[in-house]
Amino acid sequence: MTFLAIDIGNTRLKWGQYAAPFPGAPLVAHGAVFLETIDTLAESEWKKLTPPGSMLGCVVAGEGIRRRVEEQLELWDIDPRWVVSSAHAAGVSNGYDHPGRLGTDRWVALIGARHRVLAHGAPRPALVVMVGTAVTVDAMDADGNFLGGMILPGFGVMQRALEMSTAGLKVPTGEIVDFPTNTSDALMTGGSSAMVGAVERMHRKLRERCGQDPVLLMSGGAAPKLSAITDLKFENVEKLVFDGLLALQSHRLAL
Ligand SMILES: Nc1ncnc2c1ncn2[C@@H]1O[C@H](COP(=O)(O)OP(=O)(O)OP(=O)(O)O)[C@@H](O)[C@H]1O
Ligand SMILES: CC(C)(CO)[C@@H](O)C(=O)NCCC(=O)O
Ligand SMILES: [K+]
């Protein structure tokens, strides 16, 4: 029975169909669509899929979007199931003041990261960075306790905020350089440096707190841009959220 994993962010919906609902299962099909086009999934991308046996998703884009995706899921005979952030799940403990208020994408990515760390050997702390509409930098200790994390604007939001608040910052996309000498490069370098600075600072804090070097996992379309300008050793993980959804689903089946 195939398993459909869905990650609904504030800009795009990402989906992946796996051969089975277990970590490490082969990915048989995947796609990403902008939220503007989710109402046609059942008659486009999803139409040609072999019907999945089950699904699990995470949504941070709001109730309305979730309901519209559920309408598309009516294409198949499966129950829509969505992750709710909780105090404990699949070996991870949630240190948020109100665990339910942690974005479900962050919660699921932490679970994916935990499984990844354990699969690679001795337990280590992990720093989980996701670069999407927003950027999140989340710290987890070697025992799977989520200690806390930060939220920053992503590239698009930073750029639009500066464009809207100024008269002279509407320019084409630039490059990351050491000493920017034009507006485009100054903006791109500024945004990237803000993100990398946050990552490096949190990495240092987590190392101090745990007395051990954390694994740094980065995901999201613009993550390679950041990994290119930090000396920290990182792993680019494309499907951390899907890994977490697979781990949660297999846990559920094992209970
Ligand atoms: N290589 C890049 N350089 C600069 N900006 C980028 C790059 N890739 C993506 N962005 C910007 O980052 C934002 C979202 O990035 P991305 O496509 O990785 O995430 P997403 O999956 O759409 O986000 P979400 O999960 O929040 O829906 C957009 O505003 C986009 O314009
Ligand atoms: C921070 C985002 C937007 C990242 O996608 C999402 O995880 C979210 O809406 N979180 C809710 C608030 C929080 O995590 O504290
Ligand atoms: K996301």
Q: Give the domain ranges of the chain.
A: 3-82, 122-244
What is the number of the ligand 1 atom nearest to the C-alpha of 32?
21
Q: Which CATH architecture has domain 122-244?
A: 2-Layer Sandwich (3.30)
pLDDT exceeds cutoff 90 at 121: no
Contact (Cβ atoms closer than 8 angstroms) between residue 209 and residue 246: no
pLDDT exceeds cutoff 80 at 154: yes
Summary count for the chain: helices (H), strands (E): 6, 11
> Given pLDDT bands bounded at 50, 70 and 90, which one contains residue 63?
very high
Q: Which CATH architecture has domain 3-82?
A: 2-Layer Sandwich (3.30)
- 9 labeled binding residue: yes
Closest CA to ligand 2's atom 6: 103
pLDDT in tens, 19-41: 999 999 999 999 999 999 999 99
Q: Is the ipTM of this complex over 0.90?
A: no
> Given pLDDT bands bounded at 50, 70 and 90, which one contains residue 172?
confident
User: Could you tell me the two tokens for 153?
Assistant: 């604007």
- Find all residues with CB under 8 Å of 149, minimum gap 6, and list them: 106, 128, 136, 137, 138, 139, 202
User: Could you tell me the two tokens for 101?
Assistant: 């208020």
Q: Give residue 98's pLDDT.
A: 98
- 91 labeled binding residue: no
Tell whether pTM > 0.90.
yes
Residue 161 identity (one-letter amino acid): A
Q: Give residue 255's pLDDT.
A: 66
Backbone angles phi, psi at 38, to 5 degrees: -70, -20
Closest CA to ligand 1's atom 13: 133
Residue 154 Cβ contacting ligand 2 at under 6 Å: no
pLDDT in tens, 38-53: 999 999 999 999 999 9
Q: Within a 10 A sphere around the Cβ of 240, how many other Cβ atoms?
A: 27
User: Could you tell me the two tokens for 169?
Assistant: 């910052």
pLDDT in tens, 3-19: 999 999 999 999 999 99
Whose atoms come closest to the Cα of 130: which ligand? 3
Q: Within a 10 A sphere around the Cβ of 192, how many other Cβ atoms?
A: 21
Share of the chain above pLDDT 90, in %: 88
Name which of 15, 10, 56, 64 is nearest 35 in CA terms: 10
Q: What is the mean predicted confidence (pLDDT) over 107-128?
A: 96
3-82 shares its CATH topology with 122-244 = yes
Q: Give residue 162's pLDDT.
A: 93
More confident residue, 163 or 65: 65
